Structure 1
Amino acid sequence: MSDKSPVLLWLRRDLRLSDHPALTAAVESGRSVIPVFILDPQCETLGAAPKFRLGLGLEHFGKTLEQRGSRLILRRGDALTELRKLVDETGAGAVFWTRQYDPDAIKRDTATKEALREQGVEARSFGGHLMFEPWTVETKTGGYYKVYTPFWRAVKTRDVEAPLAAPSTMNPPQSWPASDALEDWRMAAAMRRGADVLRPYVQLGEEAAQNRLAVFLGEKVDKYNTTRDLPGVDGTSCLSENLALGEISPHQCWHAGQRALHEGKGDAEVFLKELVWREFAYHLMHHTPRILTENWREEWQAFDWNEDERRAEVKAWKQGRTGIPFVDAAMREMYVTGRMHNRGRMIVASYLTKHLLCHWRIGQKWFEDCLIDWDPAANAMGWQWSAGSGPDATPYFRVFNPVTQLDKFDKNRDYTGRWIAEGMQDPSDTALSYFDAIPQSWPMAADDLYPDPVVDVADGRKRALHAYENRGF
């Protein structure tokens, strides 16, 4: 095909212009660039909140491209089928994309690359979603890392590529192919009335992500090691939402964090470690994809988890009605904002898997449905870490006490007051908004009595330890 033939830029979780290797390569080829997003079967199965957030991200990025004289072409169906159609319609001679690392994406992308090349179309994948490709980080014996701290030591002094600038121009094709209308995809349908409640908490796009990073490193990072554990304090970067859809790159975050560290902001290293924790999750997903669906530690395969999601205590956990304020506040924060504070994530996960002895997959699936910052690798590793079944996991005998944890990290009850309305004389607007977001079928109201604990904290801990000891852990 002619060197003047267009390049299809197949977008996935990389909705940005700057530090976008695939986009940069397409532009530098001197050919016209046609940005494309395909709502394929993998996207169709996204949970309610991630799909809603993806729809918003696509709408925003489409407008960004239009401001640059470009467009975002939307297609729905099998990825290879739609790409082939676009090749035929546009005469494109190449398809470029950013790599993804979950097993289904690898299978899809490998087959797509082989099929396009057989057709005579140049097919190239690029990095950009991670700082370190998972296969490039090895132990001294040539294996993969199973513990975070050695992984951190192995990569902390590695060179990370400097972020690429956004292209100054993008050559449009002589004519644009047809595009689906985003509204026809109904990306918010599963959110129902919750979409309007959650929408104000979303910060869309590359500019918002860069602003978040700048504010965090300029105003918050000095006390990050302390404030990141305080759910009632605005002390975290909140960048997971934007990293999940590639509205900012980890390279950009890393270099900005390094600058802050060199400026004397010591807690910036804690932020850098969190970025590497994300890399570690992808490292494990690449080398042991079973982490997504099975107990990573084989000895946990025989553990008798409760797997019945219809159980009353599981429903209470999902609805934020366990009678444990820290757990309930965190679950309600997620339902209203699409995010949950990191300390809250640890508490609710420990409570479900240890106090209630429920399978971590129940929690993993609920988070898949409710988080706008959902990430397959981070979600799986986080749940298995909390349950004790994963790599570098919290010890099985460490059962977080959600009552003492609240006393330690939310002394003034700022967090629980923000998210729990029952029993409050003057409930906060955020607490009341939860009842506007939940399904009408949930029998809950702000003037209800706050429930008694579904499981006593001390009794739940004893039951968990007894179950673990009987399994020989």
Structure 2
Amino acid sequence: MENERSPIIMWFRRDLRLSDHPALSAAAETGRPVIPVFICDDSVDALGAAPKWRLGLGLKAFSNALRDAGSKLILRRGDALTVLQDLITKTGAQSVFWSRAYDPEAIARDTKIKAALTDQNVLAKSFSGRLLFEPWTVATKTGQPFRVFTPMWRAVQSRDVPAPSTAVTRLPPPDVWPMSDDLEDWRMGAEMQRGAAVVAPFVCPGEAAAFQALHQFLNRITDYSDHRDRLDMDGTSNLSEYLSLGEIGPRSVWHTIQQASMTGVQGVEPYLRQLVWREFAYHLMNHTPSLLTGNWKPEWDIFPWNTDADSPEVIAWKQAKTGVPGVDAGLRQMYVTGRMHNRARMIVASYLTKHLMTHWKIGMDWFADCLVDWDPAANAMGWQWVAGSGPDASPFFRIFNPQTQQEKFDPHSRYVRQWVAEGQANPPETALAYFDAVPKSWGLSPTDPYPQPVVALAAGRARALAAYEGRKNQ
């Protein structure tokens, strides 16, 4: 039987918030002391440079929020089970709560931890909170997971989404706090090197900033459907990094937008549909974890992808020196801000996988190193969607023409001029910042001439289509 004064260890992961947090709310409602903990385990150490740096900023902001709630964030490094068992021994905790994760490595880790703690008569309990709908609650009429997005959207768009729980404002502290690491000692931004100073002005971490971004988006959501693909406009929600780290909950976003709709705000459905695209990615990852590591459609295993991440064409792509302005602008935006416009992501990914005939995993891994809003499910699904190898994917023969895409979504070349300095007499600071963000070893300068295309667009398209026909014949 649990002691009324025994602490609850609240194990935080990618859920760095106080509102709409079922696990935290359940812990607080017991009235028992709560010990917030974040563990830097192998999964954190394996993060790419930009997402790890951004996580460090998020942890600092969240630590401050917990302090305002009369609590503190305990930081520990090591194997998660070993750390939790040590904290249980030293604090007398008899319960450990956490929010569920859905990637295969986290599921295996959490399953092992739950079994081990249960054997020690410790209550180990996981909660929802990262998704609108748990993956096992959404299925086709035959009980199978959805493999196509539109039927899933139809199935859930009218379903009740649980109301977000109210923010926890006070957490009872334990009698004695356990020892904590110093966040600075973890050096979460070390791999960013000089790029951290360039990206920092474009990042505003924390739950308060997330809600501010949400409410700013409400002012322009009416135009979301028309403007979300425009590269030269601020037409998107700018919520991706906050959802990625759980600095805002999806239920809070859903209900805030639904409430705005009830007050007369128009045009909300297209954005709610995008939230369900995020759900679709997580449901796919949960049901078919191979999405993260290989072609979702096995017939693509025989496609003649280039798998050399250090080939000259791939190096030119990574350095945003392909000679195709629409492609280079998207990559340079990522190096300067840590994010990339979604339309640009599709253009950039299509160029790599089709014009350059390069395996989508190379692009997926590069984004995982460079994006502050990196999300494992969305990143994998997005790359496989563009490549044609994934669920409900764009057909391979749909090859984005970067030039016509720019003409349509950046008609006055404002986006390209914002990020590509070469050829401009007075390039803006955003374009020049690219040269400060990238490694010095690349030896790049804004005075360099803009490169010729790595591959002519028409020739690249023809080569890709020929390879596609060859795969079909096999």
* 1:424 alignment partner in structure 2: 424
Q: Within 5 Å, which residues of 2 pair with 1:406-445? A: 406-445=406-445
2:349 corresponds to 1:384: no
Give how far 1:209 is off. Answer: 0.4
2:224 corresponds to 1:224: yes
In the aligned structure 2, how far is the partner of 1:58 from the partner of 1:310?
34
Q: Within 5 Å, which residues of 2 pair with 1:27-426? A: 27-217=28-218, 219-426=219-426
Give how far 1:396 is off. Answer: 1.1
What one-letter code is carried by the residue in structure 1 that aligns with 2:402? P
**Residue aligned with 1:74, SS:** strand
Give how far 1:266 is off. Answer: 3.3
Q: In the TM superposition, what whole-angstrom CA distance separates every residue of 1:139-190 from its partner, at most 9, and x where no partner exists?
A: 0001010000000001101110101111232100011000000000000000
> Is residue 16–residue 62 contact of structure 2 (8 Å, CA) maintained in 1?
yes
> Is residue 224–residue 267 contact of structure 2 (8 Å, CA) maintained in 1?
yes
**Residue aligned with 1:348, SS:** helix
Give how far 1:282 is off. Answer: 0.4
What one-letter code is carried by the residue in structure 2 that aligns with 1:467? A
Give how far 1:263 is off. Answer: 3.3
In the aligned structure 2, how far is the partner of 1:63 from the partner of 1:256?
25
In the aligned structure 2, how far is the partner of 1:396 from the partner of 1:363?
16
In the aligned structure 1, how far is the partner of 2:34 from the partner of 2:436?
43
In the aligned structure 1, how far is the partner of 2:247 from the partner of 2:169?
18
Q: In the TM superposition, what whole-angstrom CA distance separates every residue of 1:425-448 from its partner, at most 9, and x where no partner exists?
A: 100000001111110000210010
**Residue aligned with 1:425, SS:** coil
* 1:22 alignment partner in structure 2: 23
**Residue aligned with 1:260, SS:** helix
**Residue aligned with 2:9, SS:** strand
* 1:450 alignment partner in structure 2: 450
Unaligned runs of 5+ in 1: none
> Is residue 18–residue 166 contact of structure 1 (8 Å, CA) maintained in 2?
yes
**Residue aligned with 1:35, SS:** strand
Give how far 1:68 is off. Answer: 1.4
- TM-score w.r.t. structure 2 length? 0.99
In the aligned structure 1, how far is the partner of 2:324 from the partner of 2:369?
22
> Is residue 419–residue 430 contact of structure 1 (8 Å, CA) maintained in 2?
yes
**Residue aligned with 2:110, SS:** helix
Paired residues in the alignment total 472
**Residue aligned with 2:97, SS:** strand
Give how far 1:232 is off. Answer: 1.3
In the aligned structure 2, how far is the partner of 1:142 from the partner of 1:64?
42
Give how far 1:257 is off. Answer: 1.6
Give how far 1:67 is off. Answer: 1.3
**Residue aligned with 2:220, SS:** helix
Q: In the TM superposition, what whole-angstrom CA distance separates every residue of 1:277-299 from its partner, at most 9, and x where no partner exists?
A: 00000010011111001100111
In the aligned structure 2, how far is the partner of 1:117 from the partner of 1:6?
16
Give how far 1:201 is off. Answer: 0.7
Give how far 1:265 is off. Answer: 3.2
Give how far 1:226 is off. Answer: 1.3
In the aligned structure 2, how far is the partner of 1:407 from the partner of 1:57?
37
In the aligned structure 2, how far is the partner of 1:261 from the partner of 1:64?
30
> Is residue 71–residue 170 contact of structure 2 (8 Å, CA) maintained in 1?
no
Give how far 1:4 is off. Answer: 1.8
In the aligned structure 1, how far is the partner of 2:261 from the partner of 2:469?
44
* 1:466 alignment partner in structure 2: 466
> Is residue 386–residue 394 contact of structure 1 (8 Å, CA) maintained in 2?
yes
- Mean Cα deviation higher: 226-235 or 360-369: 226-235
> Is residue 261–residue 269 contact of structure 1 (8 Å, CA) maintained in 2?
no
- TM-score w.r.t. structure 1 length? 0.99
In the aligned structure 2, how far is the partner of 1:415 from the partner of 1:335?
15
Identity %: 60
> Is residue 257–residue 269 contact of structure 1 (8 Å, CA) maintained in 2?
no
* 1:3 alignment partner in structure 2: 4
**Residue aligned with 1:472, SS:** helix
**Residue aligned with 1:257, SS:** helix
**Residue aligned with 2:106, SS:** helix
What one-letter code is carried by the residue in structure 2 that aligns with 1:73? I
What one-letter code is carried by the residue in structure 1 that aligns with 2:155? A
Give how far 1:260 is off. Answer: 2.6
